[in-house]
Homo-oligomer: A and B are copies of this chain.
């Protein structure tokens, strides 16, 4: 199995993990930048992540056109291309409607990091409202590059951008870091919501977040997460050929 095949295998595992952990349901999607062609990315055809297999992965150009596939694509694939275009260091992107982050997308209260397991989310989570630029008659979806680029601008140098009334998109250097963050982001939101009810609370400091983010994805404690989520998602048999989301 060559490097591309192993990367595709890990993308399948990521799809299954995100489904199992309720980050995505029928909707939501995850991609990786093509390991050999930085101006292409790999993303499933229009399919619920829980059912994605190797054969469903399509190669796209950054503008969202498939290289050679004619099967229906996700309407919102432009989220992925726009982030890869704006952020050369990014190799993995996810888009999700995870329920527990939605309240923060429609509120003036910022989503901040209070739980160490979620520190990959960073200290600042911007909110993007599609109506600010595209007005009141959108279906809220990111359905072209112009909208994708506007969202990517709102994301800026951060890891996560909330999308008002819709969900979030997030970006990471690697797939494991992205998956781990996406799994723990809703948990962080629930903890924050509960703590706010009790009054004053203490968030992680920027120093702590910076220090934590020095973890290498290949370290045993990071791989422990990948193995755990993959096995829970029924992908234990795919671990032998996995790159570990690295």
Interface residues of A (CB under 8 A from B): 25-27, 46-48, 50-51, 72, 74-75, 97, 99-100, 102-104, 106-109, 114-117, 129, 131, 135-141, 164-166, 187, 190-191, 193-205, 207-208, 210-212, 214-215, 220-221, 224-225, 227-229, 231
Q: Would B190 and A107 count as touching, CB distance under 8 A?
A: no
Q: Would A195 and B107 count as touching, CB distance under 8 A?
A: yes
Q: Are A224 and B139 CB-contacts (below 8 A) given A106-B195, A131-B205, A131-B208?
A: no
- Between-chain CB contacts (< 8 Å), 19 pairs: A25-B228, A48-B224, A51-B228, A74-B221, A97-B115, A99-B191, A102-B114, A102-B115, A103-B191, A103-B198, A103-B201, A106-B114, A108-B198, A108-B200, A109-B199, A139-B211, A140-B208, A165-B204, A165-B208
Q: Would B224 and A165 count as touching, CB distance under 8 A?
A: no
Q: Would B203 and A106 count as touching, CB distance under 8 A?
A: yes
Q: Would B227 and A48 count as touching, CB distance under 8 A?
A: yes
Copies in the complex: 4
- Select one of B108, B166, B194, B212 contacting A103, CB under 8 A: B194
Smallest beta-carbon distance A216→chain B, Å: 12
- Select one of B27, B100, B109 contacting A198, CB under 8 A: B109
A227 contacts which chain B residues (CB < 8 A)?
Answer: 26, 48, 51
Given A106-B195, A108-B200: 14 more A-B contacts, CB < 8 Å: A26-B229, A27-B117, A46-B221, A51-B231, A74-B221, A102-B194, A109-B199, A114-B165, A116-B165, A139-B208, A139-B211, A139-B214, A165-B208, A193-B198
A198 contacts which chain B residues (CB < 8 A)?
Answer: 103-104, 107-109, 193, 196
Smallest beta-carbon distance A108→chain B, Å: 6
How many angstroms from the CA of A208 to the CA of B75 in the assembled complex? 17
A228 contacts which chain B residues (CB < 8 A)?
Answer: 25-26, 48, 50-51
| Nearest B-chain residue to A50, judged by Cβ | B228
Ranked 8 nearest A-B pairs via Cβ: A26-B228, A136-B207, A103-B194, A103-B195, A72-B220, A48-B228, A109-B198, A116-B140
Q: Are A75 and B26 CB-contacts (below 8 A) given A198-B107, A204-B140?
A: no
Smallest beta-carbon distance A241→chain B, Å: 19
